Structure 1
Amino acid sequence: MSNIIYNLSKIFEASDYILAHSLSRLLCLHGPMGAGKTTLVKALLKKLGAAETGNSPSFGLVNEYRGPDGGLLAYHLDCYRLEGEEEALDFGIEEYLGADCWVFVEWPERIASLLPGQRTEIFLEPLSTESRKLRLVNLGM
């Protein structure tokens, strides 16, 4: 478990920190609305070389990203609008969570019992309009 504090203007440094310290490619992002979860995912996708970094998947639940070579790079899931774990199972969330690529999950607490034991939890806490506290915890490794 480790903590850092970063300014939004230094979000790529926070992304580097996550990529260097995460022991899993399944990253579960926790934090209140407006904490910067989607902004952080966009920065991570850019660092990983995604062809595009798009928007939050809030309305479609899942966005898929390709790398520079056209291969699957990542899935970005936003579970905020899910009514429950049954709805997640209905759209096949197990496939996404077990994918052989990076998987970013916002609002993972809504699907807590479906998450694999091996994952990296990232907790974001707004300290001001420009700074965030980030806590990274690797589970099951």
Structure 2
Amino acid sequence: MEIIIDSLENIDAVAKTFAGHMGDSKVFAFYGNMGAGKTTFIKALCRYMGVDDVITSPTFSIVNEYHCAEDCGIIYHFDFYRIKKLDEVYDMGYEEYFYSGSLCFIEWPELIEDLLPEDALKVTIEETESGARVVRF
């Protein structure tokens, strides 16, 4: 599927559409260049799901935990941009998160590709020449 984010004004509508197509998937791997809008889209998705917490990029903490008001429990938001070795991911206990049954939104999954669950849904976000974003999954 492909969804276009024409501007920040319609990102919430796109998050709603995306959420409607998430199905039973729990782990979502968000691919895209720096500045493509991965964090911004995940923030919109979390807002749509009823997260009242401050939603920030977990670049330095690697993982943020949000509590969802829409009966989806906990959402884990990962950013593996700063990971230098897979040992760091093993040490943080990634399996407890990825196989918890909670939603996991992962930025920079290409750095831990071998550790992703087989059923992880791959999502790409690309910027077009016009500045719009294309979300594919």
Q: Which has the larger share of strand?
A: 1
CA contact (8 A) 1:25 1:101 kept: yes
2:4 match:
5
CA contact (8 A) 1:45 1:53 kept: no
TM-score, scaled to structure 2: 0.90
2:21 match:
21
1:85 match:
86
Which 5+ residue runs of structure 2 have no aligned equivalent?
none
Which 5+ residue runs of structure 1 have no aligned equivalent?
137-141
Amino acid of the structure 2 residue aligned with 1:68: A
Matches within 5 A, 1:18-57: 18-23=18-23, 24-57=25-58
Shift of 1:59: 0.6
1:100 match:
101
Amino acid of the structure 1 residue aligned with 2:35: G
Superposition RMSD in Å: 1.9
- Matched residue pairs, number? 135
TM-score, scaled to structure 1: 0.87
Amino acid of the structure 1 residue aligned with 2:109: P
Query: What percent identity do the matched residue pairs reach?
Result: 36
The runs of at least 4 aligned residues of structure 1 exceeding 6 Å deviation read none
CA offsets, 1:17-37, max 9 Å, x none? 211112312111000000010
CA offsets, 1:67-120, max 9 Å, x none? 238984200000000012221111111111112221100000111010111121
Amino acid of the structure 2 residue aligned with 1:94: E
Shift of 1:16: 1.5
SS of the residue corresponding to residue 77 of structure 1 reads strand
